[in-house]
Amino acid sequence: MRHHQQNILRVLAVGMLVAMGAAQSASAQSATAATPQTPSTAVGYVKTVTGEAWVTTAGQRAKAVPGTAIQIGSQLKTLADASLGITFKDNTVMAFGPDTELTVDQYLYAPAQGQLQLGASLLKGSLNYVSGVIAKLKPEAVTVKTPTGIIGVRGTQFVAKVEDVQ
């Protein structure tokens, strides 16, 4: 199990480096330079799953299980009757109901350097968000984009629903 996860992480990590833009790659590396002991590109982990949910990072699709790594660029997807909960490194919590798609666009957590950013896109479905350290230290650094508007957070919990437009 553990080896399997590590292999997935390795594949994802290599894919990420290829896929990420130069600027993003540089910032992500500086943000995690002090943590060589861990998979340096993981910005969060799956904690809860019911039903069928998927995490796609750099073209690699993996079925979500507790412990699946979330990285910058990861696309999260729940199918009908499924749900998913993740916790980010800064203690931000996000949970999703059925038929939901969310992408992690930006994530930067290096409080000692003042580098803080959390950007996500909710394409459809339902989201339950609880603020972590990023929103506490730098509220304007947290944004959740939706097809019709952008949600900004000032340290709190919220729920958001996006009806499928297709």
Of 120, 117, 152, the residue nearest 137 (C-alpha): 117
What b/e readout covers 18-42, taking b as 16+ CB neighbours within 10 angstroms? eebeeebbebbeebbeeeeeebbbb
At residue 53, the 3 state secondary structure works out as: strand
CB closer to another protein out of 2 and 23: 2
Binding string to another protein for residues 116 to 155, with x set by CB under 8 A, is what? ----------xxx-xxx--x---x------xxxxxxxxxx
* Contact assessment for residue 117 and residue 141, using Cβ atoms and an 8 Å cutoff: yes
Residues 28-57 interacting with another protein (rule: CB under 8 A): 34-35, 37-39, 45-50
Provide, rounded to whole angstroms, the least separation between the CB of residue 14 and another protein: 19
59 binds another protein, rule: CB under 8 A:
no
The secondary structure of residue 148, as a DSSP letter, is S
Is residue 83 close enough to count as binding another protein by CB under 8 A? yes
Q: How far is the CB of 20 from another protein (least distance, A)?
A: 20
First and final C-alpha spacing in the chain: 38
Q: Which residues bind to another protein, rule: CB under 8 A? A: 2, 34-35, 37-39, 45-50, 66-67, 83-87, 89, 91, 93, 95-98, 100, 111-112, 126-128, 130-132, 135, 139, 146-163
